[in-house]
């Protein structure tokens, strides 16, 4: 059975870095499909293959700065999420990969960030929003979400180090609010039986975090449910 590995956390928590560190560590054993801020690509034993002949996602990314300049960024984000969702579903159905790894999860992340970009959505109860997203997200039996728990101050240091455009919500105050929202959504997801593994990234290098994720995924792939439950108890 294909297994989905997804990363969640506020901006600057290290989702992209951890995924990029994890793939080279595991592609010698498993074929991996990466779904992130580019078109899907499959990795196996040092070789990579793109799903599409043309770089469709690069066209989407060209629209991002235009949406910010002309004040339709919220609409762009909704379209971008739908696009990513359709692409990921296509990749899941068409690939024979052992692991499908998402740079950003499709459950916790949209449930949290939709409140920031569309504040009126905040009136909808967290459980209802979660239920709607879980219908789209799919089965919880073959998915593992890794929540990278990061203090807003640490996240901002990483954001400044990456030397790229800083978004409006990438400040200590907003990241603290988003982190609090993540806590709420996680509680709902855990009660619904989703496998969420919480890893503190504040005093650890992202290389160490990637090794921890690798250990947990290896345990899952080895079909050792008793060890998997033990890991869950320690991580949450």
Q: Is 22 a domain residue? A: yes
Q: Is 170 a domain residue? A: yes
CATH of the domain at 157: 3.40.50.300
Residue ranges making up the domain that contains 112: 3-31+99-235
| pLDDT mean over 125-140 | 67
Q: Is 18 a domain residue? A: yes
| pLDDT mean over 137-164 | 87
Query: In the predicted model, is pLDDT for residue 222 greater than 50?
Result: yes
What count of other Cβ atoms lies within 10 Å of the Cβ of residue 166? 14
Confidence class for position 136, pLDDT limits 50, 70, 90: low
> Phi, psi (5° rounding) for residue 153?
-65, -40
Of 9 and 94, the structure prediction assigns the larger pLDDT to: 9
Confidence class for position 44, pLDDT limits 50, 70, 90: very high
pLDDT in tens, 100-128: 999 988 888 888 887 777 776 666 666 67
What count of other Cβ atoms lies within 10 Å of the Cβ of residue 116? 17
Number of domains in the chain: 1
Q: Is 93 a domain residue? A: no
C-alpha torsion angle, residues 88, 99, 103, 133 (rounded to 10): 50
Q: Is 70 a domain residue? A: no
| pLDDT mean over 156-165 | 86
Q: According to the model, what pLDDT value does residue 233 have?
A: 38
pLDDT in tens, 5-40: 999 999 999 999 999 999 999 999 999 999 887 888
Contact between 219 and 231 (Cβ < 8 Å): yes
What count of other Cβ atoms lies within 10 Å of the Cβ of residue 79? 14
Q: Is 36 a domain residue? A: no
Q: Is 21 a domain residue? A: yes
Q: Is 52 a domain residue? A: no
């Amino acid at each position: 059975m294909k297994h989905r590995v997804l990363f969640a956390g506020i901006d600057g928590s290290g989702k992209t870095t951890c995924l990029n560190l994890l793939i080279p560590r595991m592609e010698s054993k498993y074929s991996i499909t990466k779904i992130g801020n580019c078109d899907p690509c499959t990795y196996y034993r040092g070789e990579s293959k793109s799903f599409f002949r043309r770089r469709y996602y690069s066209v989407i990314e060209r629209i991002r700065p235009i949406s910010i300049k002309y004040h339709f960024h919220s609409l762009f984000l909704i379209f971008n999420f739908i696009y990513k969702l359709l692409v990921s579903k296509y990749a899941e159905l068409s690939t024979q990969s052992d692991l499908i790894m998402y740079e950003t999860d499709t459950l916790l992340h949209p449930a949290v960030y939709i409140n920031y970009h569309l504040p009126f959505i905040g009136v909808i109860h967290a459980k209802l929003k979660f239920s709607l997203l879980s219908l789209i997200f799919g089965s919880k039996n073959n998915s593992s979400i890794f929540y990278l728990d990061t203090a807003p101050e640490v996240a901002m240091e990483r954001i400044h180090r990456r030397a790229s455009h800083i978004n409006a919500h990438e400040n200590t105050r907003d990241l603290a609010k988003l982190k609090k929202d993540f806590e709420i959504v996680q509680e709902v997801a855990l009660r619904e039986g989703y496998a969420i593994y919480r890893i503190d990234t504040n005093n650890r290098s992202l290389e160490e975090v990637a090794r921890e994720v690798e250990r947990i995924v290896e345990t899952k792939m080895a079909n050792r449910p008793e060890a998997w439950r033990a890991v869950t108890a320690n991580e949450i």
